[in-house]
Amino acid sequence: MTRTVRNNDICFRMGGDEFVIILSSIKDRMHSCLVSRRLISAISEPIVLPSGNQAKVGASIGIATFPADGSEIEELLHKADEAMYMAKKLGKNNYQLHL
């Protein structure tokens, strides 16, 4: 995950299987989409476990943008979560902008 984003972007593990990334100073929302595609591509590389079994990992990503989607962090997080659930509904390995 950290290899996919820029050094000044900030990644948090919020608990369990949930993560939040703050992409700072983006030019437009499409930049977030580009990063999301890269993230999904990197995460979905199969992992070979020590036992020889293979694990497949994937991600559903929801995106909210400051200031278009809100100016308070709780609001942005809530909207990103909503978008993430929309992405989940679309199927595995999807991202979704908050609309």
Partner 1 sequence: MNRESVMDRHERYLQILVEHLDFAACILKNGVVSYTNNAYRHSFGDEDITFLFPDPQSGVRSFAHKDTGLFYSVKRIAFDEEFTVLFFAERKGVSLATDPLTGLLHRESFPLISQQVIDDASPGTRFSLSSSSIWMDLKSSTTPGVMRAAMSCSKRPLPE
Per-position x/- string for 7-36, each x denoting binding to partner 1 as judged by CB under 8 A, each - no binding: xx-xxxxxxxxxxxxxxxxxxxx-xx--xx
Among 6, 38, 89, 90, binds partner 1 (CB under 8 A): 6
Is residue 4 a contact point for partner 1 (CB under 8 A)? no
Q: CA 82, 70, 74 angle in degrees (round to 5)?
A: 65
| DSSP reduced 3-state for 70 | coil
CB 71 within 8 A of CB 81: no
Is residue 90 a contact point for partner 1 (CB under 8 A)? no
One-letter amino acid identity for 27?
K
Neighbours of 49 (CB within 10 A): 8
Cα distance between residue 35 and residue 42, in whole Å = 10
Q: How many residues bind partner 1 (CB under 8 A)?
A: 62
Is residue 99 a contact point for partner 1 (CB under 8 A)? no
Residues at the contact surface with partner 1, assessed by CB under 8 A: 1-2, 6-8, 10-29, 31-32, 35-36, 39, 43, 47, 49, 51, 53-68, 71-73, 76-77, 80-81, 83-84, 88, 92, 95
